[in-house]
Structure 1
């Protein structure tokens, strides 16, 4: 059996880290939902615990108080993924790009929150759009720019509109079906490809 540097079984450490990350996401997603529904003043440790099912003691181990939790929301974002910049503009990679965007939203603010954040006038959420949604839009723009340069995509395609369409579809799937299905990226690619292919 392999162990980590502290002598704990590596498998247990990996599971523990995964569980901790899932709990962290649940806490922050719930806090984000409450903030979007009730405003920042509606976010309390007690309400997050009640809605998320995570014990208050667990939340307090991570956050000293509600203000600390709100700071956690401000830092909630999508980690950089340079691999998208290297994707050759093909139909298969368009599908992979869309799948990656869903996973990155799912692991950060949550897919459902994307639509709520984008439509919110609350200044608190502007940083979420800047840090989470706009980088994904820029990655899509770069992917399409490379496709036009390579002669794979038509010039003059409104990438912002296509990105907005994809986001709208993603959010609608989440709202109506409970989760974006595994086949969503393939179906979205089938819809988009005829409009962009050179």
Structure 2
């Protein structure tokens, strides 16, 4: 049974609504700037009623604090995975799933490309934890002698993110087989 099925329906609905609100707010901020974010505009773009948004956020400043505090849930299982090709694929699949469930893959690319100071907090909260997961996995492989000693986790993560964002932008979505294909591409470059 997956985690999505195990959670009560109300919790899944709330999470989906929260994602709609956050994605709409991020789109507004990226397209028109932080000052353009209003509860009314977020409601219009997200399709979520203003009353629902106001139940979660007292005002626009509260919503902005919510954006700044975005984060990826900690998943300790991924940080201790054995350095195998299959687990590399699982790691990449997890990154895609968490970005999709959070602010969206395309938004990750837009946030990374932005020079606005506000988005640096979003990068720190959403992207950096995933980068750390990748670096821990690579370091674990180096320590175990499975990966080359010069394997660069930060570079590999950047390569994977670039590919992921490009797939989203060019194809409209990251293909279901992207993690397997990316793992196939990366594995020979890091295997000892």
Kindly indicate whether the alpha-carbon contact (under 8 Å) linking 1:77 and 1:109 is maintained by their aligned counterparts in 2: no
Matches within 5 A, 1:17-56: 17-56=11-50
Report the equivalent of 1:131.
Answer: 125
Deviating beyond 3 angstroms after TM superposition, the runs of 4 or more aligned structure 1 residues are none
What does residue 54 of structure 2 align with? 60
Larger radius of gyration: 1
Task: Say whether residues 1:87 and 2:114 are aligned partners.
Answer: no
- Secondary structure, aligned partner of 2:8: helix
TM-score (norm 1): 0.89
Matched positions, count: 187
Q: How far does the alpha carbon of each residue in 1:109-129 deviate from its partner, in whole angstroms, 9 at most, with x for none? A: 221111111111111111111
Deviation at 1:83, TM superposition (A): 0.9
Q: CA RMSD in A?
A: 1.5
Residue 104 (structure 1) aligned to one of 73, 98, 112: 98
1-structure distance, mates of 2:77, 2:48: 34
Output the CA distance in 1 between the equivalents of 2:189 and 2:121.
32
Post-superposition offset of 1:145: 0.9
Q: Distance in 2 between matches of 1:178 and 1:61?
A: 32
SS at match of 2:147: coil
**CA offsets per residue over residues 61-95 of structure 1, 9 Å max, x none?**
22222111111111111111111121000000000
- In 2, Cα distance between equivalents of 1:160 and 1:143: 11
What residue ranges of structure 1 are gaps of 5+ in the alignment?
Answer: 1-10
2: CA distance, partners of 1:69 / 1:129 = 17
The C-alpha deviation readout for 1:29-63, integer Å capped at 9, x for no partner, is 11011111111011111111111111222212222
| Consecutive unaligned residues in structure 2, runs of 5 or more | none
Stretch of structure 1 that moved more, 188-197 or 53-62: 53-62
Is 1:195–2:180 an aligned residue pair? no
User: Which of these residues, 145, 157, 165, is aligned with residue 151 of structure 2?
Assistant: 157
CA distance in 2, matches of 1:19, 1:177: 28
